[in-house]
Structure 1
Amino acid sequence: MVTAGLLAGPANAEPDTAAPRATDPVTEVTDRLAAQLTGRYAAEAKRFGLFPTTAEHAVNLADAPADSALGRAVRAANREVLAAKGLPADSAPLLTVRLADPSMVDALRRGVTPLVASSPSDDEATSVTAYGRDAKRVLLDAERIPHRPVYLVEVDSAAALAEGMDVIQSTLAQHGQAPQVRAAAGYWATQVTSIRLRDDAEPWHKGKAEIFAIAAGFGQDGKVKVDTVEMPYLDHDDTTYYPGQLLVHFSSYKYNLADLVLMEEDSGTNYRDLALALAQALLTIVDGGVYIPLVNAILNALPDGWWTDDPDYVDSFYTLSTATAGTLTGAANNATMTVAPYWVAPL
């Protein structure tokens, strides 16, 4: 995601030989590939057209021919990424290359030699390690968009999120915590008619947001039930979206109350670990006959490292009911959404 407050001035680009090491398995893979695309595989990458000429669309690195040296390296790297993210081995390839910002297109057309980088895993990082010709390291300011073109090797977060939601739901179902929708005479849901994020806290090298919601309530059996919902339209902060999306389905809950937590997928998210952490934390909560807010339990289930980047906490909403309507501000004062009750009629 690119935040609205980024500076457009020139970035520092000093050669460096002691750049910080990557801090998670996925970043280690993308950083390694970034160096290789300017070094040992530079000629193949150019020949196979893996560097897009605009910032509109990313190129999947799996487009490299399977029988090429680069193709074999990409397939091995994809296997590492899928394992690190807790995704099935037969999932679609996730590694892509994109031009970091539309402002870099003109320099690219003038023939300015681009750099290749991967985004650091830490949102608080002050520099981005990029690679120039022959994999020579160059440090870039993490907060200022460089004038020199920069290609980013990264995970297709939209594809990863779609796969990850399936992993979370199937894992929770194995622990008896995935909601079962009852095909009754219809049910109430909470519809979000508009939503806006104040700050997604992401610098130029992060790209668009991939937001998902975790909804939780007590099921008919007294156990906590968790559902996940993708919000693929919610790309940028300081932008109002009007999705008309159903976020909370009360068909499987014992009470007419549920809690909602908004999170963002980042490259290092391990979806199986997230699901297991949620299951372990929520198994200990017992229905005492009165609704207990579940936001804190969800947030406490996240390992400490996940508060830095993967996944990012966005905001939370306590005790949404079947009658909740109007404009709501999240507990972290970061998300504002307008909601309305929605009756889901049977077929």
Structure 2
Amino acid sequence: MLSSRLLTSLGAAVVAVGVLAAPMANAEPAPDSVAEVTDHLARQLAGEFAPEAGNLLPATADRAVNLARAPENSALGRAVRAANRAVLSAKGLPPDGTSLLTVRLADPGMVPALRRGVAPLVASSPSDDTVTSVTAYDRAARPVPLDPDTVPTRPVYLVEVDTAKAVAMGMKVVDATLSAHGQAATVRAAAGYWATQVTSIRLNDDKEPWHKGGAEIFAIAAGFGQDGKVKVDTAEMPYLDHDGTTYYPGQLLVHFSAYKYNLADLVLMEEDGGTNYRELALALSQALLTIIDGGAYIPLVNAILNAIPDDWWTDDPDYVDSWYTLSTATSGTFTGAAANGTMTVNPYWVQPL
């Protein structure tokens, strides 16, 4: 995943949005974090549930396996479902039974050793990009420390959150959360409107560690609405998996019909697995309400940054980059404020229906 180390260079407009989910009824007590849930499940898969888990562990690194495939009436199946409920709770997502927990082989280079019969380890994928050690577990459930910067020669399976699915869930309910506070950007397309189209985008190589998969990036646009309140719009960017790669999406990321002024800020964030959307949404929603339209566009920076607890910056979600004051006339290639991303944009007229 992309690193959060660039946060020290924040001179950027950062807006982040989360999910307001209803509390779980009759739910089991959940650990404090997603990391605790996945670490505990990794130890169980390596030890007591190893015989049952054999059919779930993929033989290659080409795909992840959803752990919900474990039989419901088995001890492993019950443990997986309890862990999944805890993850949904820890992430502030609706307790709708969606399965977010997966397991994958960490690296393609581990396949030969696996085929030779080398006993694999099981670990959870840390959400923090700057960990000094990754804890894996052997067949006896004993901890085995691994170097986070060097791919192990011994096969390692990683228990982790399906971040693509988590982002999709979060983005689906974020509009409802903001709408409840009058902060969701509403596109008025009856007469057509101008938007900003991203024709190419590239994020820098941050030497992502072996225990991370592809990035899950989401975009946040923010500006002032006709009522003077800050309005926020979000968009998934599921194609933006890897840094060091140029993508050509043709995606519309800023819809100016939602804004009072001819200006808006754009921010990219990354879901790292442990994001609590509910807590993030509440903190940011309160911050947005304090920003007053003074009759001219102002960058939406300090109030929002100050609303985000410090510990979120050291873990997830990761700040990726941001672009100030995009307008309906903005065209060309621009480097983000944190110098981590380069984006080519052009104005795009959205025809009325």
Common topology (TM > 0.5): yes
For 1:112 and 1:210, the matched residues in 2 are separated by: 32
Question: Is the Cα contact below 8 Å between 1:260 and 1:295 reproduced in 2?
Answer: no
Please say if residues 323 and 336 of structure 2, whose CA atoms lie closer than 8 Å, have aligned partners that are also in contact. yes
Unaligned runs of 5+ in 1: 4-22
**Residue pair 1:2, 1:207 contacting (<8 A) in 2 also:** no
1:221 is the counterpart of 2:227: yes
Whether the 8 Å contact between 1:117 and 1:130 is mirrored in structure 2 is yes
Residue 41 of structure 2 corresponds to which residue in structure 1?
Answer: 33
Residue identity in the other structure for 2:312: W
Distance 2:327 2:89 in 1: 38
Using CA pairs below 8 Å that are at least 6 residues apart, which structure has the higher relative contact order?
Answer: 2
Give the SS at the match of 2:176.
helix
3-state DSSP of counterpart to 1:133: coil
- 8 Å CA contact 2:151–2:210 kept in 1: the answer is yes
- Amino acid of the residue matched to residue 135 of structure 1? A
Across the aligned residues of Structure 1 and Structure 2, the Cα RMSD in angstroms comes to: 1.5
1:69 maps to: 75
Cα drift, residue 148 of structure 1 = 1.0
Question: Is contact 2:265-2:325 (8 Å) kept?
Answer: yes
Matched, 1:83 2:118: no
The percentage of counterpart residues that share the same residue type is 78
Task: Pick the aligned partner of 2:52 from 44, 47, 52.
Answer: 44
The equivalent of 2:236 in structure 1 is 230
> Aligned residue for 2:170?
164
Q: Kindly indicate whether the alpha-carbon contact (under 8 Å) linking 2:2 and 2:270 is maintained by their aligned counterparts in 1.
A: no
2-side partners of 1:271 and 1:125: how far apart? Answer: 22
Q: Is 1:148 aligned to 2:154, yes or no?
A: yes
Q: Is the contact made by 1:167 and 1:272 (CA closer than 8 Å) also made in structure 2?
A: no
The residue aligned with 1:212 is: 218
Specify the code of the residue in structure 1 equivalent to 2:225: G
What is the Cα deviation at residue 200 of structure 1?
4.4
Q: 1:60 aligns with which of 50, 61, 66?
A: 66
Deviation at 1:123, TM superposition (A): 2.0
Q: Contact conserved, 1:24 with 1:121, CA < 8 A, in 2? A: no
How far apart in 1 are the matches of 2:252 and 2:136?
41
Q: Which digits, 9 at most, give the CA deviation of each residue in 1:233-282, with x for residues without a partner?
A: 11111111111111111111001100011100011101111211221111
1:11 alignment counterpart = none
Q: Give the alignment partner of residue 250 of structure 2, picking from 244, 264, 267.
A: 244
- Corresponding residue SS for 2:154: coil
Match of 1:10 in 2: none
Residue 124 of structure 1: how far off its partner (Å): 1.6
What is residue 261 of structure 2 aligned with on the other side? Answer: 255
Identify the residue that residue 191 of structure 2 maps to in structure 1: 185
Q: Secondary structure at the match of 2:63?
A: coil
- Superposed CA offset, 1:199-230 (max 9, x none): 34631111110001111000011100011111
Matched positions, count:
326
Contact 2:185 2:233 (8 Å CA) reproduced: yes
Per the alignment, do residues 92 and 320 of structure 1 end up closer, same or farther by CA in structure 2, a change over 3 Å counting? same
Q: Structure 1 residues 148 and 306, CA, compared in 2 at 3 Å: closer, same or farther?
A: same
2:105 and 2:156 in contact (8 A); partners too: yes
The match for 2:106 is 100
Q: Show structure 2 runs of 5+ residues with no match.
A: 4-30
